Amino acid sequence: MNEKYKESMLKEDALIDKVVVITGGGTGLGKSMAKYFLGIGAKVVITSRKLAVLEETVKELSEQTGGEIFAVECDVRKYEQIENLLAKSIEKFGKVNVLVNNAAGNFITPTERLSHRAFDIITDIVLKGTYYNTLAFGKYWIKEKMDATVLNIVTTYAWTGSAFVVPSASAKAGVLALTRSLAVEWAKYGIRFNAIAPGPFPTKGAWDRLFPEDLKDLLNVEKKIPLGRVGDHQELANLAAYLVSDYSAFMNGEVVTLDGGEWLKGAGEFNMLESIPMEMWDEIEKGIRGKK
């Protein structure tokens, strides 16, 4: 099979004038985006709660790419820490013109088992973290009259909802609404907003909490995806790089699904007919035509 999607897509200097802040950038998809953005010229600030993890990633990615990357500890639920993140990023690189709201918290559980605090924890990271960051960075861009781009990482259940991840689904739906609302409201300031809704992309963070080993057979993700495979980090990084670059200058308020057709397979009324062998269709058709 052609595996072009595992390769870099944009020109080597596609993000040359960009300073990008990625929340949750020390691990998983945030780290993969950071690596690719550095490879195509961006300066990158990664941030999360665990400074040791961030510093390890800074070391690894600067060795691998030779790019300029910097870590700032920040809990996205604390507005004053976000103000510090912004100040430190400007101090280091002179400006910030891209924000990627990628940090998240999530786990599977029946909703009735949740404490109210657990619900708050998830929605505070995902929704409040996103609007706190967006507000702090937005005020700075508006004051400085700077063009800027925000990329929000949501999920496909932001619009379908999903049982067993209710706090995450509620919060991601809010992030999608925020994306579309501010795409209109802040376009006048030259600030664009877009989102990516990934299907399953293997990461330790997601797999430990959402696809535990004990439920391996039940949660067989490849089987749920029409294209028969999970996502590759590079293909998400390619899309993210395009969305934060000036190549996507006319794209605003969009959410791009990258899931191999997974959510539509779950949604289509007759999609389960895929399991019927082709040779049975003569018989089925005869039966249907016979009813005339």
Rounded-to-integer distance, Cα 86 and Cα 141, Å: 11
186-225 binders of ligand NAP (CB under 6 A): 198, 200-201, 203, 205-206
**Strands of the 98-101 sheet, one edge to the other:** 69-73, 43-48, 19-23, 98-101, 148-153, 191-198, 255-258
Q: Which two tokens stand for residue 207?
A: 């797999």
Single out the catalytic residue among 36, 79, 157, 189. 157
148 interacts with ligand NAP by CB under 6 A: no
155 interacts with ligand HXC by CB under 6 A: yes
Is the distance from CB of 178 to CB of 132 less than 8 angstroms?
no
Q: Segment near ligand NAP (CB under 6 A), from 9-17, 28-36, 179-187, 260-268? A: 28-36
Q: Which helix (H) or strand (E) holds 32?
A: helix 28-39
Rounded-to-integer distance, Cα 155 and Cα 261, Å: 13
121 interacts with ligand HXC by CB under 6 A: yes
Total length of the chain: 292
User: What track of x and - describes contact with ligand NAP for positions 224 through 263 (by CB under 6 A)?
Assistant: ----------------------------------------
Rounded-to-integer distance, Cα 31 and Cα 100, Å: 12
231 interacts with ligand HXC by CB under 6 A: no
Rounded-to-integer distance, Cα 124 and Cα 139, Å: 21
21, 122, 153, 239: residue in contact with ligand NAP (rule CB under 6 A): 153
User: What track of x and - describes contact with ligand HXC for positions 95 through 114 (by CB under 6 A)?
Assistant: ---------xxxx-x---xx
> Is 5 known to be catalytic?
no
Q: How far is the CB of 23 from ligand HXC (least distance, A)?
A: 11
37-76 binders of ligand NAP (CB under 6 A): 48-50, 53, 74-76
Q: Which two tokens stand for residue 198?
A: 């990934």
By beta-carbon distance, which residue lies closest to ligand NAP? 205
Is the distance from CB of 18 to CB of 42 less than 8 angstroms?
yes
Q: How far is the CB of 257 from ligand HXC (least distance, A)?
A: 12
Is the distance from CB of 211 to CB of 168 less than 8 angstroms?
no
Contacts of 99 (CB under 8 A, 6+ apart): 20, 21, 23, 133, 134, 137, 148, 149, 150, 151
Instruction: Select the binding partner of residue 77 from ligand NAP, ligand HXC, none (C-beta < 5 to 8 A, by kind).
Output: ligand NAP
Catalytic residues: 157
Contacting positions for ligand NAP (CB under 6 A): 23-24, 26-30, 48-50, 53, 74-77, 102-105, 125, 129, 153, 155, 198, 200-201, 203, 205-206
Contacting positions for ligand HXC (CB under 6 A): 104-107, 109, 113-115, 117-118, 121-122, 155, 168, 200, 205-206, 209-210
